[in-house]
Structure 1
Amino acid sequence: MSKELAIEVKDVNISYRILNNISIRSTLFHKKTRDEVFEAVKGVSFEVEKGGILGIIGKNGSGKSTLLRSIAGVFSPNSGTIDLHGHSVSLMALGVGFKPLLTGRANIMLSGLLLGFKEKDIQERMDEIIDFAELGDFIDRPVRTYSSGMHSKLAFAITALLETDIILVDEVLSVGDERFKKKSLTKMKELISDEERTVIIVSHSMETLSELCNKVMWMHDGEIRQMGDPEAVLKNYAQFMRA
């Protein structure tokens, strides 16, 4: 008997149009310029069962974060389909979802509302989220004043304490001081112990993926190079990176 699917990705292609530098002379004389198209994700298909924990690894530029943002609904793929089967989804990633001019406290409320939570429910969790993030007085300062580590702490606290059916994590576990990393890892283990929750973790840390995931996908140049047992995939990836 097959398990229920939480995420179904079919033949997804994602391209970016890269604008070349245009000189003032070219602009004045209306010269045509060629825009370069970069294929970030090329015909990717995979499934994640409900309760599954998938890790995604690959060198920089392999399409990992682009794919994750597309699953989160930050933008749509050029072609192909992504089906979350009605499940709620949240994305933990630096530089995504926060309004830089708003305070951390205001961003907690906004993020919660965008995730579909009621204002009353967010207010009930507000103090818990603020305590977990450990930002002190910065919680009432604009997010644009935050360091990357502080941004990471707030992103993790919101997603970890406003729990959705699907959690997407993009390198957030590897940012911040060592104590907070351990705290985040403990909280992530608690979250994924729920058999109803589905998680995808993008990370360069083979140790993290080996410890947390029941399946790993290796992406290379926008395509899936290998997907399966974490030990086998991570071993092949490590050998590839050493070559």
Structure 2
Amino acid sequence: MKEQKDVVIDVNHVTIRFNKANQKIDNLKEYFIKLVKRELMFQEFLAVKDVSFQVGRGEAWGLIGTNGSGKSTILKAISGIMKPYKGTITVKGSIAPLIELGAGFDGNLTARENIFLNGCLLGHSEKYMQEHFEEIVEFAELWDFLDSPIKNYSSGMRARLGFAIATMVKPDILIVDEVLAVGDYKFRQKCEQRMSEMLESGTTLLFVSHSIDEVKRLCDHVLWLDKGTAVMLGAADDICDAYMKR
């Protein structure tokens, strides 16, 4: 057990539930009629089941598992996007989440406009964003497309811009969920280098990737999830090796 003062993320017996509709409803009118008549039927789906772990300040945790194992769901709960059905999550410090590609961007606005919009959503002033504007564009390597609408960007270009904005400052906690998978090899190396620098300066990292090699390079701890249940957690090399032998 870590000393409580060093724990920045405490996930305590967390269960996250979704309701899946048992029937197909084609329009809003039909939905409200069934709602009023109490004829809507749902099936309970537990995306995360009684998961507990603690993340210490400056640690790098990788979350691994097959698609549908609950990795992204638990990151969204830690980011405050959704609430647990059971259990508690305590987070200390500022969070920069990179969870969904293009989140916080308006497709009809240019990259230039979206930089200021996204910065505002992260709590930065216009003056602050102006001071860091060139740094963001330089890292994202998007000078030639700065006045093009985001909707015309490839997924890799959006990922580059999102990562550049989120890591412009060094947050207490950086959450990266598979968004770098769409980038080219050179840019992924660039992002890994920046994350390594942030870790050295004390940032805590939560990292989801299907690349076990990336997880081993960046992370010192790993949580292995399977169908919402924690299978193993501990030292990165040990858990990754066990996962690969499954």
TM over 0.5: yes
Equivalents in 2 of 1:78, 1:185: separation in Å? 34
Once the two structures are superposed, what CA deviation does each residue of 1:209-242 show, in whole Å capped at 9, x if it has no partner? 11111101101111111000111101111111xx
Q: Could you tell me which of 105, 112, 133 is aligned with 1:126?
A: 133
| Structure 2 counterpart SS, 1:140 | coil
Q: Could you tell me which of 227, 237, 242 is aligned with 2:243?
A: 237
Q: Could you tell me which of 38, 46, 53 is aligned with 2:53?
A: 46
Once the two structures are superposed, what CA deviation does each residue of 1:132-188 show, in whole Å capped at 9, x if it has no partner? 111234332222222111111111111121321110001123221121111111112
Q: Could you tell me which of 81, 89, 92 is aligned with 2:88?
A: 81
Structure 1 segments of 4 or more deviating over 6 A?
none
Q: Could you tell me which of 119, 123, 126 is aligned with 1:116?
A: 123
Query: Aligned partner of 2:8: which letter?
Result: A
Instruction: Tell me which moved more, 63-72 or 104-113.
Output: 104-113
Instruction: Tell me which moved more, 118-127 or 59-68.
Output: 118-127
The runs of 5 or more residues in structure 2 that have no matched partner are none
Instruction: Tell me which moved more, 90-99 or 162-171.
Output: 90-99
State the identity %. Answer: 41
| Structure 1 counterpart SS, 2:245 | helix
TM-score (norm. length: structure 2): 0.88
TM-score (norm. length: structure 1): 0.89
Change (3 A) 1:103 1:16: farther
1:33 deviates by: 4.1
Q: Could you tell me which of 184, 205, 214 is aligned with 1:199?
A: 205
CA RMSD of aligned residues (A): 2.2
Equivalents in 1 of 2:19, 2:108: separation in Å? 28
1:101 deviates by: 2.5
Once the two structures are superposed, what CA deviation does each residue of 1:88-123 show, in whole Å capped at 9, x if it has no partner? 001113142322232222222222222222222221
| Structure 1 counterpart SS, 2:146 | helix
- Number of the residue aligned with 1:22: 25
Equivalents in 2 of 1:17, 1:150: separation in Å? 34
- Number of the residue aligned with 1:140: 147
1:64 deviates by: 0.3
The runs of 5 or more residues in structure 1 that have no matched partner are none
Instruction: Tell me which moved more, 52-61 or 153-162.
Output: 153-162
1:16 deviates by: 1.9
Instruction: Tell me which moved more, 27-36 or 73-82.
Output: 27-36
- Number of the residue aligned with 1:222: 228
Q: Could you tell me which of 64, 71, 84 is aligned with 1:57?
A: 64
Query: Aligned partner of 2:12: which letter?
Result: K
Equivalents in 1 of 2:166, 2:30: separation in Å? 45
Equivalents in 2 of 1:117, 1:79: separation in Å? 33
1:84 deviates by: 1.1
Q: Is the 8 A contact 1:13 1:80 kept in 2?
A: yes
- Residue 77 (structure 2) pairs with residue 70 (structure 1): yes
- Number of the residue aligned with 1:153: 160
Q: Is the 8 A contact 1:8 1:82 kept in 2?
A: yes
- Residue 184 (structure 2) pairs with residue 177 (structure 1): yes
